[in-house]
Amino acid sequence: MTTILGRFGEIGLKGANRGEFERRLLRQVRQRLPEGAAASLRGGQVVVHVPEASAAQTADAMTRVFGLVSVIGAVPAAPNMPAIAGAAIDLARASGAHSFKIAARRVWKGFPLTSPEINAALGAAVADATGLAVDVHHPDLTLAVEVRSDVVYLHGQALPGPGGLPLGASGRAVALLSGGIDSPVATYLAGKRGLSVAAVYFHAFPFTGDRTKEKVVDLCRALGRYFGPMRLWVVPFTECQVAIRDLCPAPFATLLTRRMMLRVAEELSRRERAGALVTGDSLGQVASQTLEALAAVGEVAELPLLRPVVALDKDEIVAIARRIGTYDISIRPYEDCCSIFAPRHPRTRPTREQVREAEAPLPAADLLAAALSGSERLFVEP
């Protein structure tokens, strides 16, 4: 068996809710464990025991558990210096490093040596046994030693986790997923702050084909590596888009489309018992994302409208998309419905009054009802 430690950060700060947060985190970790593995909470970290053969895979899966700041493969040793030194020498030999340092941390203050004393004693023992050089400034290997009353953990490099809060700790949200680059990143970031998310996708068949729908399903599958199985609402939206184009002034088409999308998403959020909507809006990126446009669109939603990527540059969004594995799916070149009906000269700085006036000819309630009644809910397994 191998031991993997999952560290969490902020949960520790959350006072009375801490117990609930920890339970959610533990549940998320357990869902990712293979046969024969076990997870428990000990001393403010998640401790996983897993068969050697599936250790790497499990550690990798744990790096996608919201709430975990880092994931570390650890070697346990008995809390006495000879045992610790033996384990440290084995690790140093196996690492292939030329230089090292010891970074001891004494969680259990009852241990007879202080942290600096442990560093000195272990450093000498490892250097003598292996011939490796001690280098406290730029070591190839930093051997962390964590001293507890019942066990001592030694470990090398930590894998970064996503951080944030455990899934569901902040409640539920509905995210508008388009197939582009931004909305999957927004969904991910919402999940990172503890929101469990159901996605909604607006399908404008025959203007968008089944390839685009498949793309959104694949995005949910990729996000599912963080979220687990995801619910995806597919909303038939052709009628809405055609009505907006035929009945309303062209420069407002995108804004009115987005208002209808928010209305649909808000209705669906009732069915999902969700308390927020999540969009991939990034301030000033396109015409419908100026402050005025965001205001004119956002006013139709009663729920809080979360825009996790609002302040990110495209480069920053792309970097996250690459890291979480949605980028390559997002750049597949199938039309999404926004691009087909986009007006040639969109209004960039509309007032709310202008938008309401532009929308007046639209039978919004009927369109909303039709879109909802045609919606289907898919379950996407990661």
Partner 1 sequence: MDVYLDNAATTPAVPEVAAAVSDALLRRFGNPSSPHRWGIEASRVAGAARDVLAGLLGVAGEEVLFTSGGTESNNLAIGGLAAARRRAGRRIVTTAIEHSSVLAAVDACADEVVRLPVDAAGRVAPEAVAEAAAVPGTVVVAIGHVNNEVGTVQPVAEIGAALARLPQRPAFHVDGVQALGKVPLRPGEWGVDTCALSAHKIHGPKGVGALWVRRGMRMLPLMHGGDQQGGLRPGTENVPGIAGFGAAARLCAAAPDAAAGMATLREKLWEAISMIATRNGPGPETAAPHILNVCVPGLPAEVLLHALEERGVACSAGSACHSRRPEPSHVLLALGLPEAAVRSSIRLSLSRLTTEAEIDAAAEAFRDAVAALRRLVHR
Task: Verify binding: residue 245, partner 1, rule CB under 8 A.
Answer: yes
Q: How far is the CB of 243 from partner 1 (least distance, A)?
A: 11
Q: Which is nearer to partner 1, 108 or 207 (CB)?
A: 207
Q: How far is the CB of 12 from partner 1 (least distance, A)?
A: 48
The residue to which tokens 């809710």 are assigned: 17
Task: Verify binding: residue 247, partner 1, rule CB under 8 A.
Answer: no
Q: Which is nearer to partner 1, 332 or 349 (CB)?
A: 332
Quick one: which segment of 119-127, 163-171, 238-246, 260-268 binds partner 1 (CB under 8 A)?
Answer: 238-246
Any alpha helices (H) in the chain, and if so which ranges?
Answer: 18-31, 55-62, 81-95, 115-130, 182-192, 210-227, 238-247, 253-271, 291-298, 314-324, 327-330, 337-341, 352-359, 364-373
> Which of 57, 142, 149 has the alpha carbon at shortest distance from 107?
149
Q: How far is the CB of 260 from partner 1 (least distance, A)?
A: 17
Q: Give the number of residues in contact with partner 1, rule: CB under 8 A.
A: 13
Sites for partner 1 among residues 326-355 (CB under 8 A): 332-333, 335, 340
> Which of 234, 200, 245, 240 has the alpha carbon at shortest distance from 342?
245
Site string for partner 1, 200-229 (x = CB under 8 A): -----xxxxxx-------------------
Task: Retrieve residue 28's tokens.
Answer: 């998320």
> Which of 190, 192, 152, 173 has the alpha carbon at shortest distance from 68?
192
The residue to which tokens 């066990």 are assigned: 151
Q: Which is nearer to partner 1, 225 or 245 (CB)?
A: 245
Task: Verify binding: residue 254, partner 1, rule CB under 8 A.
Answer: no
Q: How far is the CB of 206 from partner 1 (least distance, A)?
A: 3
Q: Which is nearer to partner 1, 208 or 330 (CB)?
A: 208
Q: How far is the CB of 239 from partner 1 (least distance, A)?
A: 9
Task: Write the DSSP symbol of residue 234.
Answer: E
Q: How far is the CB of 334 from partner 1 (least distance, A)?
A: 8
Q: How far is the CB of 331 from partner 1 (least distance, A)?
A: 12
Site string for partner 1, 277-316 (x = CB under 8 A): ----------------------------------------
CA distances, 340 to each of 2, 258, 335 (Å) = 53, 14, 7
Q: Which is nearer to partner 1, 127 or 247 (CB)?
A: 247
Q: Which is nearer to partner 1, 208 or 326 (CB)?
A: 208
8 dihedral zone (left: phi>0; alpha: psi -120 to 50; beta): beta
Q: How far is the CB of 178 from partner 1 (least distance, A)?
A: 17
Query: What is the spatial distance between Cα 371 and Cα 117, in angstroms, rounded to a whole number?
Result: 69
Helix (H) or strand (E) holding 142: strand 141-147
Position among 103, 242, 283, 370 found at the interface with partner 1 (CB under 8 A): 242
Q: Which is nearer to partner 1, 88 or 235 (CB)?
A: 235
The residue to which tokens 């970074």 are assigned: 103
Task: Retrieve residue 314's tokens.
Answer: 């495209």
Query: What is the spatial distance between Cα 89 and Cα 86, in angstroms, rounded to a whole number?
Result: 5
State phi, psi for 92 to the nearest 5 degrees: -65, -40
Sites for partner 1 among residues 175-194 (CB under 8 A): none
Helices 364-373 and 238-247: crossing angle in degrees, nearest 10, is 160
Position among 119, 187, 196, 238 found at the interface with partner 1 (CB under 8 A): 238
The residue to which tokens 């052709």 are assigned: 238
> Which residues are near partner 1 by CB under 8 A?
205-210, 238, 242, 245, 332-333, 335, 340
